[in-house]
Amino acid sequence: MIRPVLVLAASATCIAAVLSGSAQAASAAAPEDAAARAHAYDALAKLPDWSGVWDPTFSPGQRPPAQPKLTPPYAAQYAKYLQANRTTPGLNFVSAVSSCVPPGVPMSMQQPYPIEFLFTPGRVTILIETDHIIRRIYTDGSAPPADPDPSYQGTSVGHWEGDTLVVETSAILPETSPLMGINGHSDKLHVTERIHLASPDILEITTTRTDPAVFLEPYTTTASYKRHRDWKIMEYVCEQNNHDALDRNGNAAFSLEHKPGEKQ
Amino acid sequence: MKLTTTFAAGALCAAALAPIMPASAHHSTAMFEWGKEQTLSGTIERYEWTQPHTFVWIMVPKGQGGETQEWGLEGMSPSWLGRRGWSLHTLHPGDKVAIVYYPLKDGRPGGFYVRVTMPDGKEMEALPRRAPASAPQGR
């Protein structure tokens, strides 16, 4: 009967010591941390103003991008897509995005719905309306992880060159599309985005893709986004009412089934 | 007056343009006869203001016997329509409307809705009237 009491007493003493120790540490460090935090947040005010919501469906009439120079397997895939564009009106790119699989970088930035930016110390976060995609771009100078798991949005680090944010992204899932008209790429796909204000309310993003399995030379496109200060990002749950999932052969399809629970 | 003039000019421009390309779509348009305008009239059964697409369910008279057939028409998303004058209150069950749509290639009673003539005669556009030169192309 004695031992448990002793243990309890000892534990209580330890807990008290730990609690008082951490309380002292917190109170000792707080003013310094608060100053550092305030300084880090103050520094954000020096960054360019990218507030508001940015619409990518706006175009100031840019020239179409140059044709990509592709390796044979991807050239064949792309030629098939271009041929479909010549013969069939409409949008002829079939991808798993129809089945509510999210697009990866860089296509996630070129969906027809708007995006917004958040600046916090050491990080830029891009919120994409389509599929609620979140891109975390670490700008604290840390190196990208050595062996990251591939993901749809990849692993991004960024740095500022004046008013231009330069984002480097890799470890992008190979089943995603690097370009309209092409499905798939290797695990070597690397995407560089240079993001800057071309004019007060036009954001320009120049995107360069390199992947020796797909591109014979780096392929660069430029997209413009128009600022809408009064827009709000909406909810976007692709599974809510999708009638366009691909069929079992991966072809475009269309369902006239009602949503579950609705009258048939 | 100014509004009327703008609308008239818009209609003229629209008429001169080639069939609309979807600057925004969640998917390939391979299942539709894109650009081939058809018209149907009927009574709205339900309007689904949902992602990734809105959906119109409409009962359309079939034959002379008073029978009707249900049609399902997909449209642009709330993200797109909601920023261009539409809302979940734009169409109501029971509304009698005429709808211009692009039909399904396989002949089922469905398609993609392009514009709607409302019960009061007002026309609501549901697709961009012209394709930007380098529109970002999505789903």
> Is the pLDDT confidence value at B1 over 80?
no
User: Around A178, how many Cα atoms within 13 Å sit in the side-chain half-sphere?
Assistant: 32
| pLDDT reported for residue A169 | 98
Evaluate whether residue B102 is within a structural domain. yes
- To the question of pTM greater than 0.80 for the whole model, the response is yes
| pLDDT reported for residue B71 | 98
- Quote ipTM for the complex: 0.80
Segments making up each domain of chain A, as ranges: 1-46, 53-240
| B110 neighbourhood in chain A, CB within 8 Å | 254, 256
Alpha-carbon gap: B33 to the closest alpha carbon of chain A (Å) = 8
Evaluate whether residue B134 is within a structural domain. no
Distance CA A151, CA A166 (A): 20
Could you list the beta-strand ranges (E) of A131-172: 133-138, 155-161, 164-170
Distance CA B7, CA B21 (A): 21
Evaluate whether residue B12 is within a structural domain. yes
Between A98, A110, A258, which is nearest B27 by CB?
A: A98
Evaluate whether residue B82 is within a structural domain. yes
Cβ distance A90 to B135 less than 8 Å, yes or no, reads: no
Question: Domain with B93 in it: what CATH number?
Answer: 2.40.50.140
Evaluate whether residue B38 is within a structural domain. yes
Cβ distance A236 to B79 less than 8 Å, yes or no, reads: yes
Q: What is the mean pLDDT of residues B126-134?
A: 60
Total of domains in chain B = 1
Distance CA A197, CA A206 (A): 11
Contact by Cβ (8 Å): B118, B125? no
Evaluate whether residue B105 is within a structural domain. yes
Q: What is the mean pLDDT of residues B77-87?
A: 94
| pLDDT reported for residue B64 | 85
Alpha-carbon gap: B62 to the closest alpha carbon of chain A (Å) = 18
Q: What is the pLDDT of residues B2-58, one digit of tens each?
A: 333 333 333 333 333 323 333 445 678 999 999 999 999 999 999 999 999 999 999
| B35 neighbourhood in chain A, CB within 8 Å | 89-90
Specify the higher pLDDT residue, A13 or B64. B64
In the three-class reduction of DSSP (H, G, I as helix; E, B as strand; rest coil), residue A98 is classed as helix
Cβ distance A113 to B23 less than 8 Å, yes or no, reads: no
> Position A183: which residue type?
N
Burial B29-50 (b: 16+ CB within 10 A, else e): bbbbbbeeeeebebebbbbbbb
Q: What is the mean pLDDT of residues B80-85?
A: 92
Evaluate whether residue B135 is within a structural domain. no
Q: Mean of the per-residue pLDDT values for chain B?
A: 80
Of A242, A51, A252, A219, which is closest to residue A130 (Cα–Cα)? A242
**Among A71-75, A148-152, B106-110, B133-137, which stretch is predicted with the lowest mean pLDDT?**
B133-137
Structural domain that includes position B38: 2-125
Q: Which helix (DSSP H) or strand (DSSP E) does residue B116 occupy? A: strand B110-117
In the three-class reduction of DSSP (H, G, I as helix; E, B as strand; rest coil), residue B19 is classed as coil
Flag residues of chain A having pLDDT under 70.
1-31, 59-64, 260-261, 263-264
